[in-house]
Amino acid sequence: MKKDWLYVGLTSLFELFWIFGFNTAYSWWHWIIIIALIATDFHFLSKACENLPTGTVYAIFAGAGTIGTTLMDIFIFEGEFNTMKAIFMFILVLGVIGLKLADNTARDHDDKKGANA
């Protein structure tokens, strides 16, 4: 199970790498690297979905990518940070945590239901 969560972390990280590449690529060979990063990213995404709920994996993947690219825009590409961005990033984090907790609750309920059968 820990290895599956490692795959979630890796897919989130590689998503940030290729998004960074989109913003900085200026030569054809940069695009070759970006395509390799995307392929690696989707490999880790599919590995994570083998044993974890796809909805939870995708929520974390999308949330980490959204927050990561927003922070990358602010700190690397000199984007603007404001209160609204902070509020919505916080809401996004709460949503991802809520989905994970709901998934655990549903799994615990299913385990108890199966034990009583």
- State yes or no: pLDDT of 113 exceeds 60: yes
Q: How far apart are CA 113 and CA 117, in angstroms?
A: 7
Q: pLDDT by residue (tens digit) across 15-62?
A: 999 999 999 999 999 999 999 999 999 999 999 999 998 888 988 888
Residues in the chain: 117
Q: Extract the tokens encoding 60.
A: 């974390």
Q: Residue 117's pLDDT band (boundaries 50, 70, 90)?
A: low
pLDDT of residue 110: 65
Which residue's entry shows tokens 């949503």? Answer: 95
- State yes or no: pLDDT of 114 exceeds 80: no
Q: Extract the tokens encoding 14.
A: 């590689």
- State yes or no: pLDDT of 11 exceeds 60: yes
The answer to whether 36 and 20 have CB atoms below 8 angstroms apart is no
